[in-house]
Amino acid sequence: MASTVEIGSSPVESPQPWDALRKTIENKTATIGVIGLGYVGLPLIDAFVRTGFRCIGFDVDQSKIDVLAAGESYIDHVPSDAIQGWLEQKQFVPTADMARLSEPDAILICVPTPLSESRDPDLSYVEATARQISQVLRPGQLIVLESTTYPGTTRDVLLPILNESGFAVGQEFFLAYSPEREDPGNPDYSASGIPKVVGGIDDRSRALAEALYSHAIVKTVPVASCEIAEACKILENTYRSVNIAMVNELKVLFDRIGIDVWEVIDAAKTKPFGFQAFYPGPGLGGHCIPIDPFYLSWVARKHDIPTRFIELAGEINASMPRYVIDHVAAALNDQGKAIRGSRIAILGVAYKKDVDDPRESPSFALMKLLGERGAVISYNDPHIPTLPSMRHYQVPQLSSETLTAGYLAGQDCVLVATDHSVYDWQFIAEHAPLVVDTRNALAGVTGERQKIYKA
């Protein structure tokens, strides 16, 4: 029952946290806090600001805060002029001050969830964030975890930490899970154009989260629990991992028997039902597909259930960089050269075409293997001007080379790792003495093709 407070001489009913929050969401006066201003957080802010909400962006990296406060972007698909507009309209405040987490009415958590060295879930970022929220949590706040994780994380990891605040979930604060769905580099899908799955810790939490996202996202898909929403994300990425592994394995087989796997896929995808095209490559990249399925296999191990498809897919996909390097060695051998001492240029460091995201990119595995064999490595990527530090690799201090005729001609081998749209493949084919193509990017070039190898 709602409590009452005295205003003047007349008793006035004070709205419950649920009602007050619901109304601020409905009339778009709610302030939204986004924790983690990376490839998920910034596009999410863009979606809500465009709808008229005021957002506070939180990140522990002060350098990111300084860049955003200056109206600049560090992510290609969120341009600087968009951020400048947020600031000018006073709809966006970037901050590293986590004490301000008491200000937003809704807090969306978009922090990393990597794997440990033993391929166990590393939830340290989620747990640290939950403790920061718990210290300043107030009645009437909605907390939504967006970071990809295993089923049960919201209820078993996040909720106990938030409960340390002393407030009651479902009555004084509200908790939900809604997995991020981003497709960077795909102009057909912005953050606001992809349906959003929403699961709540209780019915009120789900209803509030659904109401919030419905303002900024094209469609919300409510499900019965946080666990179903968490499992949904894992299913999506495991599906992709397994199917990519299948075509990677077929690529190795078809290469051995002289069949072009790319032409096979092009023929198969003409079937209007029962087939979806997946494509081989030099390995998996991005934060989701190489990592998320192992969250599910970790849960399965806890219940003594083997996940053979997941483990096998991981093994096949992880083997692809070595397969590619073997092809580089064979291609150079045909030219009377060894990898050791050869100048090898890697085209593309981003994990997929037309993005500036290098997370888990197979290009770093390729660099590591080439370096171990004594190659002289350089690279070009128009989206990544300098190589960033990476969690699992000792990355050489290199900057992107200008893709001139002279640079290409000066290489012993050009290795195509990422097929960015800006690359002029005809120009590359004409000037590079040898090309190893992992993406079928040079399929359409004309002229002499003996120096082009598919891998």
Domain ranges, ordered by start, for the chain: 4-224, 249-454
Distance CA 21, CA 56 (A): 17
Work out the end-to-end distance of the chain between its first and last CA atoms, rounded to an integer number of angstroms.
68
Which helix (H) or strand (E) segment is 318 a member of? helix 308-334
CB-CB contact of 146 with 110 (8 Å): yes
* Residue located via tokens 């795909």: 186
- The number of C-alpha atoms within 13 Å of 334 and in the hemisphere containing its C-beta is 14
Number of H helices, E strands in the chain: 15, 15
pLDDT recorded at residue 189: 65
pLDDT in tens, 60-115: 999 999 999 999 999 988 999 999 999 999 999 999 999 999 999 999 999 999 88
Distance CA 443, CA 440 (A): 6
Distance CA 355, CA 321 (A): 20
- Clarify whether 288 is annotated catalytic: yes
CB-CB contact of 426 with 294 (8 Å): no
Distance CA 338, CA 279 (A): 29
Distance CA 451, CA 455 (A): 13
Question: How far, rounded to the nearest angstrom, does the alpha carbon of residue 255 sit from its chain's CA centroid?
Answer: 31
CB-CB contact of 126 with 111 (8 Å): yes
Distance CA 102, CA 175 (A): 15
pLDDT recorded at residue 348: 97
Residues of the chain with pLDDT under 50: 1-12
The burial class, CB within 10 Å (0-12 / 13-18 / 19+), for 74 is: middle
SS3 452: strand
4-224 and 249-454, same CATH topology: yes
Q: Which amino acid is present at 172?
A: E
Q: Which CATH topology does 249-454 take?
A: Rossmann fold (3.40.50)
Q: What are phi and psi of 267, to 5 degrees?
A: -70, -45
DSSP state of 169: B
Distance CA 48, CA 55 (A): 8
Distance CA 134, CA 127 (A): 10
pLDDT recorded at residue 98: 97
Does the domain made of 4-224 have the CATH classification 3.40.50.720?
yes
Distance CA 157, CA 51 (A): 32
pLDDT in tens, 160-183: 999 999 999 999 999 999 999 877
CB within 8 Å of 106: residues ≥ 6 apart: 21, 25, 30, 31, 32, 33, 141, 142, 143, 144, 208, 212
Q: Taking the model in full, what pTM does it have?
A: 0.89
The DSSP bridge pattern shows strands 173-177 and 196-200 to be: antiparallel
Distance CA 6, CA 371 (A): 74
Q: Which ranges constitute the DSSP H helices of 335-424?
A: 362-372, 405-409
